Structure 1
């Protein structure tokens, strides 16, 4: 093969044009792509400014812009007010505030959308004068915010719901009564008893003698009375802690009258219990026993074991304060029987403990130690450290008090008789009560010694 023929097979490096084969080898490979949609003009559509804003702007800005574009200016102002107050509350509390560890409200999309939905619906209904719908939307928001440290948001919308309910004139005031009840319950949960009392009274006056029923089948009138009694009892409990017994009695008498209005035996029994405690603190033991006995009878008839147990304890304590220890023990024995039957170990332990203390007061140390030992065994079984330590101390004191007379007799008689010293030494080593046996033996021997001289004289 000649050299000229070999060179002819190679491309001409001096040529200006590139062959088609070289062009095809340099061109990139075509990839398979999904065809883009085109509009009627044949061009690919571009996203609108609104679509771009949904991705670029924050959720808060998007919600606010949507409200303003749709003309919901009142909803926009309400939303900004809630967001601002939420952030102020969150920052003011610092690390000690539960809100500090939660994301800001504006960074919680679901809550923002919920606010937007209900606020705009409420504003739409407000424009048409449909205050029932306004009330329902505001109530929905009040019931939605139940998280930690969100009580003020719930209170805010409950107050707005009450204002809207007062404008409803077609239901005889039922929506207003329900709004007052919701506010009263919320204030009661927050410990604002004065405001709770105010709204419960408004609820009671609106629901009085009305044929209105709740979902549980109770009349709203009864719910109002129960709420009023609950507030009165809590107010009285605070006054009892401060030993303001006369003020507590005044509040509880008001609650008792409310319970009697509805002929509610359960409420009467509950209020009577606290009235008995108030009169006991005042020193009126006879009146205290009357109210406590009423509470005991009501709880027994209704079969409320917890109320029955606390009534037994309160009556026994009143009888003990009046010096009637035998009657007090009888009530404690009944409490022990009821507690044992219904397996209420705490009440059973307390009944045995109180009986043991009363027995020791009466000088019946053996029975006292027996009852206190039962209380100790129950406390050990239940694992109650405080009750166990108390029972240990009481058992030790009762045992020591019961042993004290015999111990003193041996100690005082030790100089005249050597047999009296040995039981004391034995007791210090073992701490077991052997004084009664040794004391009986020493007394028998002493009696025989006193008889011997008489027989000698007779002989």
Structure 2
């Protein structure tokens, strides 16, 4: 959590000399060539540099990595040498494993990265010196500086190693009220979250949250640590609930999301609280608890309205429409979905327009209002065409085609039921041309009158009250 200023790099005598002869020779150099190079160096040194010390000669002979290790041992930092040597062995093992699996070698050999070796020497030796004096806060700061330096995709495993070391040292720091321990729990939570071990991550984030309660500690960006703890816990709980819902463990998912909503309230952040309500409402919907889902989602909708967030409000209306559709209240569901389409169009959210229009088309199609269904599916298809999203365009095209086919089937059915010469002429003409069949004037005029009523919100309930599945009516 604390970013330390870079310390000035100082190099021991042997290391300074070794840096002057970088880059080092590759490790794959044949032995005969190495012997020849050694003899050449010895001869050159003998002729041109009289009186060189043994250390200076070693600096020209050895690799930079070896010089770093020798300096650590010579200066008495045996623990630092052991840790560095262990990391170098793991580094080589990872590269060898990549070679065996025929993967790209993303990591260069450590010998070719003197800056990283310098950081190892600089911070490890200072951490060891501070540990001897029991200045554990300084030990933590030096180890955390190494973790920050290696915080990149290539060296993330090195960062994790120092996160674990920081966590061990943080338990020994008693003079800061537990701030370093809280930060260490946050780092360990992130480590486990990235590795997909969500339960372990949640344990560390819970400890982080508990240690920061009632504290006004801030990170280097000025954000309160307690708010960061709440955000981290909510994120982890949501990921855990997603897995539980996939396994149909609805009660466990709802329980953990209720806990998340309580933590969000404690964080005193309306946006965070709103997100917690959204996922809790969806969990109740998945569990078939429709009334509870509506109550929770209405709370989510209210916060979105208070924050004047149209996009979030549209998401709330869409979720509420799903609940109403599951209850069979199609009239109300259509009202909410039409609001979603309007909000999405006003905010240029094309994907939301496609999704809501498709849901509307499905409702109308299932209930036999094929003209309205065709209009909704056509709206979705036209929007995907503007986006040039081919997979989505193909999907909406199928929906649109099915609705148009239902329209045609309805007209054919009406002509067959009429059983008169005019209807027979229409059917024969259609079979010859296979184009759009002319609608039955009597039936279609009645249907079109009913569908026109649906455009007027005053008569929407009247028109759709005959839906067989509408439990409310």
State which of 344, 353, 378 in structure 2 corresponds to 1:348: 353
| Distance (Å, rounded) in 1 between the aligned partners of 2:241 and 2:342 | 31
Moved more, 345-354 or 252-261: 252-261
| Distance (Å, rounded) in 1 between the aligned partners of 2:249 and 2:108 | 45
2:454 matches 1:431: no
Preserved CA contact (<8 Å) 2:130 2:139: yes
Q: Unaligned stretches of 5+ in structure 2? A: 1-47, 446-473
Preserved CA contact (<8 Å) 1:406 1:435: yes
Name the structure 2 match of 1:195.
200
Q: Unaligned stretches of 5+ in structure 1? A: 1-42, 442-459
State which of 420, 424, 438 in structure 1 corresponds to 2:424: 420
Name the structure 1 match of 2:378.
373
Which is higher, the Rg of structure 1 or of structure 2? 1
2:96 matches 1:91: yes
TM-score, with length taken from structure 2: 0.78
Name the structure 2 match of 1:333.
338
| Distance (Å, rounded) in 2 between the aligned partners of 1:147 and 1:410 | 70
What are the Cα deviations for residues 48-83 of structure 1, in whole angstroms up to 9, with x where unaligned? Answer: 332232222112111101111111101000000111
| Distance (Å, rounded) in 2 between the aligned partners of 1:422 and 1:128 | 100
State which of 269, 277, 281 in structure 1 corresponds to 2:274: 269
CA distance 1:428–1:253, shift in 2 (3 Å) = farther
Moved more, 66-75 or 358-367: 358-367
Preserved CA contact (<8 Å) 1:411 1:424: no
Moved more, 203-212 or 183-192: 183-192
2:107 matches 1:102: yes
SS in 2 for 1:435: coil
What are the Cα deviations for residues 379-410 of structure 1, in whole angstroms up to 9, with x where unaligned? Answer: 01101222211211111111111221221243
State the superposition RMSD in angstroms. 2.4
| Distance (Å, rounded) in 2 between the aligned partners of 1:435 and 1:143 | 72
| Distance (Å, rounded) in 2 between the aligned partners of 1:173 and 1:413 | 85
SS in 2 for 1:100: coil
**Higher RCO by CA contacts (8 Å cutoff, separation 6 or greater):** 2
Shift of residue 102, structure 1, vs aligned partner: 2.3
TM-score, with length taken from structure 1: 0.81
Shift of residue 132, structure 1, vs aligned partner: 1.4
What are the Cα deviations for residues 178-208 of structure 1, in whole angstroms up to 9, with x where unaligned? Answer: 1111221232223221121111111112111
Q: How many residues align?
A: 398
State which of 53, 56, 63 in structure 2 corresponds to 1:58: 63
Preserved CA contact (<8 Å) 2:128 2:139: yes
Shift of residue 84, structure 1, vs aligned partner: 1.0
